[in-house]
A = this chain, B = another copy of it.
Amino acid sequence: MIVQAVKWIGDIDGYLELVDQRKLPIEFATLQCRDVEVLFDAIKTLAVRGAPAIGVSAAYGLVLALQKPTDNIEKAMELLTKAREYLASSRPTAVNLFWALDRMQKKAAEVSRASRPRIAGKACPELVEGMPAPLKAFREAILAEAIAIHREDVEMCRRIGQNGQKFIEEGAGILTHCNAGALATGGQGTALSLMFEAQRNGKKFRVYADETRPLLQGARLTAWELMQAGIDVTVICDNMAGWLMKQGKVNAVITGADRIAANGDTANKIGTYSLSILAREHGVPFYIAAPSSTFDLSTKSGAEIPIEQRAAEEVISFRDAQAAPTGVGVYNPAFDVTEARDIAAIITERGIIEKPNIERVSQHLT
């Protein structure tokens, strides 16, 4: 079974159900978000994570915002705008979050303009007892937009998986890093989507999951969701990847991406760059699986991608256990940049960019 990280339960008065990723892999628990505050907290504390999953969740968050009692669309728009600003402040660098919230806001503005009664050519607030039909229709339109965003995400994931099928051979050993799976999206993931589709096609293969220090998304999340799906998965420490390749156990490396530059250079979780060098050394093809929205054509090459340094605490401790001495210096970049020349192909929902370069990327996106 492929886990579903984000679910809307019910109609406009329903709620958002998230897999609580803070508790994985020790406990599988769901978190019911019945108001915007709970969702905000869920995003901030990583109960839900992964850019697409956050975007979809935030879209549903605006549906939750409209459950507060209100008697007209104007006031509903105020609630929605306030919730949008609030949710946008939960993870300040999450591009999909802003994108989803903006799309919802735009839709809301359109619908509200169209649905307000007009007096002398001017829109006026509704004055109806209970829930006026236009307000209900407004809320339904907002839910429909969130569902559309979610469905598009599901479809995008599936297409990436289908497009990358040929890269998973029968009996292969596939190495992945971090979590680019169902837990990170509204659908079945990006890098892991290839594996879910391969399984659907009856292929036998083995996945090696880098544990992915410091936050252990590979050990905690990728291993867990592959086990849930009945896919053969083996966890390794990050420093074992090279030796594993040397033993001939890895036939392909497949990871997701955080940002892809115009020339195909790809920023992804720290450690991906080392994997790309080790893969080249051992003649193992290295693939990136990501939605086309991950491309940032305003970034010419990887050299222009700023690298976020994160808190020392993440490295010093391992979950609740202290690993390094208090006060020691720490270098903790959140991600690194893999050069396009070391990427055999980038797989998107649109298709495949083999040996990516500036021309091929440009061609793929137009």
Contact = CB atoms under 8 A, between A and B. Distances in A.
A328 B274 contact: no
A212 B235 contact: no
Given A25-B325, A322-B25, A236 B274 contact: no
Given A235-B328, A318-B216, A318-B323, A277 B270 contact: no
A233 B316 CA distance: 13
Query: Which of A239, A278, A327 has the most C-beta atoms of chain B within 10 angstroms of its own C-beta?
Result: A239
A239 B238 contact: yes
Contacts of A210: 239
Interface string A196-233: 00000000000010111110100110011001000011
A330 interface: yes
Contacts of A223: 324-325, 328
B277 A315 contact: no
Contact of A235 (B237, B238, B274, B324): B324
Given A319-B322, A323-B211, A323-B219, A227 B274 contact: no
B238 A322 contact: no
Contact of A273 (B214, B236, B243): B243
Contacts of A323: 211, 216, 219-220, 318-319
A213 B234 contact: no
Contacts of A208: 331
Interface in A322-353: 322-333, 336
Contacts of A328: 25, 219, 223-224, 227, 233-235
B237 A315 contact: yes
A106 interface: no
A83 to B, nearest CB: 35
Interface string A280-319: 0100000000000000000000000000000000011011
Contacts of A129: none
A330 B235 contact: yes
Given A220-B323, A270-B243, A324-B223, A213 B238 contact: yes
Given A236-B331, A243-B274, A331-B208, A321 B324 contact: no
A23 B235 CA distance: 27
A134 interface: no
B270 A240 contact: yes
A26 interface: yes
B243 A325 contact: no
A323 B322 CA distance: 14
B324 A25 contact: yes
Given A320-B321, A331-B234, A213 B239 contact: yes
A271 B236 CA distance: 11
A241 interface: yes
Nearest to A269: B239
A211 B315 CA distance: 9
Contact of A330 (B224, B234, B316): B234
In order of increasing CB-CB distance, the 4 nearest A-B pairs are A239-B271, A242-B274, A319-B321, A238-B239
